[in-house]
Amino acid sequence: MRPVDKARYILNILFLIGAVATLIVYLTSGKCPTFIYIGFTTLAIKVFEFILRFIN
């Protein structure tokens, strides 16, 4: 496995964890800033993984 593939794999796992965390915060807390911060961080992780996919 190439190092880039390993990094993409880890980023995908972080994205899935972040997506679940975002959903849980949205459904339980209802605090808008927390939901937005977690959601945008998760989105940034996915965008970075997307960029890595098309660079290689």
Q: What is the pLDDT of residue 1?
A: 79
Q: What is the pLDDT of residue 41?
A: 96
Range(s) of the domain holding residue 13: 3-55
The pLDDT tens digits for 1-56 are 788 899 999 999 999 999 999 999 999 987 788 889 999 999 999 999 999 999 87
Contact status, residue 47 vs residue 14, Cβ threshold 8 Å = no
Contact status, residue 48 vs residue 40, Cβ threshold 8 Å = no
Q: What is the pLDDT of residue 34?
A: 87
Residue 24, CA distances (Å) to 19, 41, 53 in order: 9, 15, 28
Query: Which tokens in the block code for residue 39?
Result: 């959601």
Q: What is the pLDDT of residue 51?
A: 94
Q: What is the pLDDT of residue 13?
A: 97
Q: What is the pLDDT of residue 29?
A: 81
Number of domains in the chain: 1
